[in-house]
């Protein structure tokens, strides 16, 4: 597999990588992962995440307040996000979204935060990066309502929600991102959703250090393993690996225009 791909979502600032960050990035390059977007999930950590992107040419970054952190963090403002977005390697807004699986009690704060992130994505013309878990109806409603107020672009990161939310996102022109979940034996519904997704709307990611794909399941994930997910993606869409890699890279460049090679 000599084709190059992009890891559109990882967390290189997490302590899991502290002891060997340069090696992790080098292994990604060796595996054909030519670029990666590291995601800041708490705005107070933005300087540290920015420093990683500044230190490594293949690394870009995005920042936002993760829905599971809204209770512990100051509410983001549109101005704050827009100001951060001026950095040349800042390429996306988020991750933001809704998570009712663990943190349903903060649903109202999560919705408020999500709308702020959408406004910042609209203003900066940068893609919104969405985390959605156990909140399909509210998520579809907010994304659709906000789109009616003014267009914006978006990726449903680590997509493993219902076919209905997938369709709602695709109907708005958004993208679905395939993670290691798609390689798990019990994830046939996820594979079916991607099989029915237009091939020009699919991205690949690791969400590392989480969700390592087969054959590394249960271990720490890292950007190099995007190649395993991409191999499954190619199979699901009936494409050659090189063609799938080229297509998802083209999709990434269209959506994450600031990170274009």
Task: Determine the angle formed by the axes of helices 136-149 and 163-171, rounding to 10 degrees.
Answer: 10
Q: How many domains does the chain have?
A: 1
CATH number of the domain that 230 lies in? 3.20.20.140
Class of residue 4 by CB neighbours under 10 A (exposed 0-12, middle 13-18, buried 19+): middle
Q: Are strands 90-99 and 175-178 parallel, antiparallel or unpaired?
A: unpaired
The span from the CA of 118 to the CA of 27, in Å, is 34
Question: What pLDDT shows up at residue 26?
Answer: 98
Packing angle of the helix pair 226-237, 188-195 (nearest 10 deg) = 60
SS3 186: coil
Reported residue count of the chain is 261
Q: Which of 60, 74, 63, 68 is nearest to 121 (CA)?
A: 63
pLDDT of residue 16: 95
From the CB of residue 102, how many other CB atoms can be counted at a distance below 10 Å? Answer: 11
- Cα angle 66-228-100, degrees, rounded to a multiple of 5: 25
Rounded average pLDDT per 10-residue block, the chain, 261 residues: 90 97 98 98 98 98 98 98 98 98 97 98 98 98 98 98 98 98 97 98 98 96 98 98 98 97 64
Q: pLDDT at position 261, please?
A: 64
The pLDDT assigned to 188 comes to 97
- What range does the domain containing 10 cover? 5-259
Torsional sign, CA 224, 5, 37, 172 = negative
**Does residue 43 contact residue 64 with C-beta atoms inside 8 Å?**
yes
pLDDT of residue 255: 98
Q: Which H helix or E strand runs over 53?
A: helix 46-55
The conformation of residue 15, written as its DSSP 8-state character, comes to G
Burial of 13: CB neighbours in 10 Å, binned 0-12, 13-18, 19+: buried
Alpha-carbon span 37 to 159, nearest angstrom: 17
Whether the full predicted model's pTM is greater than 0.75, yes or no, is yes
């Amino acid at each position: 597999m000599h084709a190059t791909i992009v890891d559109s979502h990882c967390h290189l600032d997490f302590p899991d990588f502290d002891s060997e960050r340069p090696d992790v990035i080098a292994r990604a390059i060796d595996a054909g992962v030519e670029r990666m977007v590291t995601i800041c999930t708490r705005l107070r950590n933005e300087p540290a995440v920015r420093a990683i992107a500044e230190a490594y040419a293949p690394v870009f970054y995005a920042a936002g307040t993760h829905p599971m952190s809204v209770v512990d963090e100051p509410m983001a403002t549109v101005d704050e996000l827009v100001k951060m977005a001026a950095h040349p390697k800042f390429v996306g807004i988020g991750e933001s979204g809704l998570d009712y699986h663990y943190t349903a009690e903060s649903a109202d704060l999560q919705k408020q935060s999500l709308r702020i992130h959408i406004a910042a994505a609209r203003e900066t013309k940068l893609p919104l990066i969405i985390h959605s878990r156990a909140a399909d109806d509210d998520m579809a409603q907010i994304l659709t309502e906000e789109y009616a107020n003014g267009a914006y672009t978006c990726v449903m990161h680590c997509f493993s929600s219902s076919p209905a939310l997938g369709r709602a996102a695709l109907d708005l022109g958004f993208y679905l991102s395939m993670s290691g979940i798609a390689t798990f034996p019990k994830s046939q519904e996820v594979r079916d959703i991607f099989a029915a997704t237009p091939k020009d709307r699919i991205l690949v990611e690791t969400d590392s250090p989480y969700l390592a794909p087969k054959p590394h399941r249960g271990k720490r994930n890292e950007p190099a393993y995007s190649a395993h997910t991409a191999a499954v993606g190619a199979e699901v869409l009936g494409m050659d690996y090189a063609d799938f890699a080229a297509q998802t890279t083209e999709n990434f460049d269209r959506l994450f225009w600031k990170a274009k090679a």
